[in-house]
Amino acid sequence: MHQQEPQQQLPHAQASTSTGAIRRPGQSTTQSSTGRGVIQRVGEKGDSTGVGQIGRGMEKLSIQPTTGGSGDAGAAGPVAVVASGRGAARGKRILPADIFVTKPSHVTNKKGTSGSHKVITVNYFKVLKATDWALYQYRVDFSPEEDRTMVRKGLLKIHQKKIGAYIFDGTVMYTSRRLSDRMVFTSTRQSDEQHITITVRLVGDMLVGDAHYIQFFNIIMRKCYEHLKLKLIGRNYFDPNSKIILPEHKLELWPGYVSSIRQHERDILMCVEITNKVMRLETLGDILNSLYHQDRSRFRENFCNAVIGTVVLTDYNNNTYRIEDVDFSATPSSTFPLKNGESITYVDYYKKKYDIRISNPGHPMLVTRSKTRDRQAGEAERVYLVPELCRTTGLTDAMRENYKLMSSLAVETRLHPGKRIEKLLKFNKRLCKEPAIAQELSEWNLQLDDKLLQIPARQLLNEKIFFGGDVFTNIEHGDWTQAMINKKCVISPRLMEWVFVISERDRGCAEGFMTTLLKVSAGIQFQVEKPKYEYIRDDRPGTYNEKLEQILSKRVPQLIFCAVSNNRSDRYSAIKKKCCVDRPVPSQVCLTRTMTHKNIKSISTKIAIQMSCKLGGAPWYVDIPLEGLMIVGFDVCHDTTSKKKDFGATVATLNRRMTQYFSAVNVHETGEELSNDLCDNICKSVQAYYALNKTLPERIVIYRDGVGEGQVPQVMDREVEQVRKRLSGLYGGPDKYRMAFIIVTKRLNTRFFENNNNPEPGTIVDDVITSPIKYDFFIVSQKVRQGTVTPTAYSVIYDNLGMNPDKIQRLTYKLTHMYYNCSNTVRVPAPCHYAHKLAFLVSKFIHRAPDTQLQNTLYFL
């Protein structure tokens, strides 16, 4: 049974000093708040559903016919529909009103045709069930009221023989057989011998395809995980008994599973992915002691910076919490009131309840929050945790920069496809062989297939990469690095006046690097003259800032090249702020150790291409046989210094070969601002296209990244509609242009396998595991050197282009060849990748919109 943490009863808690302390009862109220962070409950044990109170008071759905609107392509709305025919479930399947249908009304066939057909394996298992399978939902009430979910479950379980097989989340009960509309039971609560009356009322039945119907399967599966003794941390289940210890890095790796059961094209399928949780062996108490010995004068500030906002695990009850604050006025020796009114110290509480002896009674207390349902019940929100009983989860930025550590983790986490398949089948076998799970599933007349699903796929033909002089090469495996040697660039600007900035200490490595850079530049016909050298006394951020201001205040060169000794983000930030905002000029930053690398010729070629692109150059293109086409990429990144700010970046192509670009960045704090900025920037892109081509683009394809599942209705209602409205005004009517709006999703749990290996780039899937309410497809567009490749999902939510699905799929794959930072295909279409690159640069390093003087080049590469 889940045990709640001791809480501070602080109905009038005052804010704190700079240490972030929250006032305890009786403490002076003359302090002021830090306002650090926002707390949320990350995960908890005890609720076997893991989804809370679902479907409360849900009524039986009324069914409406599908409406196509007024012939507007893509105008499918959130209405209930009856699906049948091709692509539908067997028989008639009900799609309820709370499911948002994004499949445009004119799309009847979303399958492509080009390429060679093949069969691949996916990490899905079919959920087998009886054909006529009903699900009934009941509301369960307790009198007198009982707030604790585990107690409510125990009181109802006494009557399981009368009810039969059921699932209960504390409020809503599901059964697969119809019971009486109203039943009353009586149970006795063991803790105080109180008689409790339980009333069970029928809410309604759920039809196949109902959102809650599918959710029920996920509830069943999470219950099965508990039979396997897996631990719920956050939203996923992990297996601490199979943990991998990395003592040299003071880390543990807990293997786990992410699963999701959904209605796909014709079947209900369960997707299962192998995941991992990084657990630190050191406690927050250890971190506090370490920081105290490092700098006693600032250990409080350093400790707050290190722990506030982190997620911690408490081993004694296997709960996770997000740390909101640190209270240096409270210690484990402090007392707090129990519910019965008695006071007890934290030291005594943990000794009595968990038989844990606290060794550092003088440590400050960590402040987090109580469970959501406790807050809704009006109970105290703040929970105090003892540092030495908390372990942090996840990796710090410093850890991610530790090559040895990340290599050790990669061995365990980046599984080869064959190894991943082995683990998936082993997990499936555990599910099928566990007697308690077998009984649970049989009671519901359910069965999980014991083999991974095999589905049809297609392999697109390899693309031709065109270089300067219309020389082209056929590529294999999505890589043309070797083919690029001595090939001319498609567009080659001249770099005549540029400045090379390097510290006096590192000037010795500059000449050799420059000789190689000039030589490889000539090889790709990028004409580069020798730079003007500027030497600085040291490599501090302020020194670079002063030198750049001195250079750029006189005469702005074509490009600034800064050689730096390491990856310090503050130095990089200072350089980019100066060159992107204060004194706009294309800039290149390079590590000095890179300049002396053994593969310096290959590295110099990539640097030369980067420099060329920042001046308007382009190294290659792929043939896209469509006139008047403009591709727009859009992505959003959160500002790293302010939780309220986001930066949205728009990058659009301006010519037929997709080699010239327009870009814009906006800061926004609300969804409305984001929608308005996207509309404004697409209109600016159209005007930039007109300025170059003397005609407006006939077709506009927008690839929108950075959208969560729950944000799709908002994107449809706000962004798509506003973009259409603004473009119709710009063009003089909605029939003067054609547009498609495609949502790009990179973070997927779906994995593809082909003969125990990764499928080749160009693998397309548009059936079986796709959604019946979406116009969607998957593409594997890149080759990975280690681990299992992740496909990218595309969902077309608006489309009146007049192009068939095959052409949209091929166009999307072609665009993954056009990212100039590497000579291989990437996961998403190039404009979308450029938009992410720009949004990331601004949100992490610049924190302000760059100057518009740079908007017609890829200055952010």
Is residue 430 within 8 Å of residue 89, measured between CB atoms? no
Q: What are phi and psi of 311, to 5 degrees?
A: -100, 130
Q: How far apart are CA 349 and CA 354, in angstroms?
A: 8
Q: How far apart are CA 51 and CA 47, in angstroms?
A: 8
836 is catalytic: yes
Amino acid at position 117, single letter:
H
Q: How many CA atoms lie within 13 Å of 769's alpha carbon, on the beta-carbon side?
A: 31
Amino acid at position 335, single letter:
T
635 is catalytic: yes
Which residues face 536 on adjacent strands? 503
Q: How far apart are CA 99 and CA 276, in angstroms?
A: 31
Cβ neighbours, 10 Å, residue 575:
22
Q: What stretches of 41-181 adopt beta strand conformation (E)?
A: 41-43, 81-83, 93-95, 116-122, 124-129, 135-143, 166-168, 172-175
Q: Which of 635, 646, 754, 776 is catalytic?
A: 635
- Which residue in the block uniquely carries the two structure tokens 């992490």? 844
Q: Which of 5, 239, 705, 767 is catalytic?
A: 705
Q: How far apart are CA 329 and CA 819, in angstroms?
A: 54
Is residue 144 within 8 Å of residue 189, measured between CB atoms? no
Which residues face 278 on adjacent strands? 253
- Residue 58 is given by DSSP the state P
Distances in Å between the alpha carbon of 391 and those of 237, 248, 322, 347, 840? 18, 17, 11, 18, 30
Per-residue 3-state assignment (H helix, E strand, C coil) for 622-673? ECCCCCCEEEEEEEEEECCCCCCCEEEEEEEECCCCCCCEEEEEEEECCHHH
Q: How far apart are CA 667 and CA 681, in angstroms?
A: 12
705 is catalytic: yes
- Residue 149 is given by DSSP the state H
632 closest CA partner among 664, 602, 601: 664
Q: How far apart are CA 169 and CA 147, in angstroms?
A: 12
Q: How far apart are CA 562 and CA 847, in angstroms?
A: 20
Q: What DSSP string describes 210-245?
A: -HHHHHHHHHHHHHHHHHTT-EEETTEEE-GGG-EE
Residues whose CB is less than 8 angstroms from the CB of residue 406 and which lie 6 or more positions away in sequence, other chains included: 399, 400
Nearest-5° angle of CA 362, CA 366, CA 372? 150
Is residue 13 within 8 Å of residue 31, measured between CB atoms? no
Q: Which of 434, 673, 717, 721 is catalytic?
A: 673
Cβ neighbours, 10 Å, residue 426:
9
Q: How far apart are CA 431 and CA 227, in angstroms?
A: 9
Catalytic amino acids?
635, 673, 705, 836
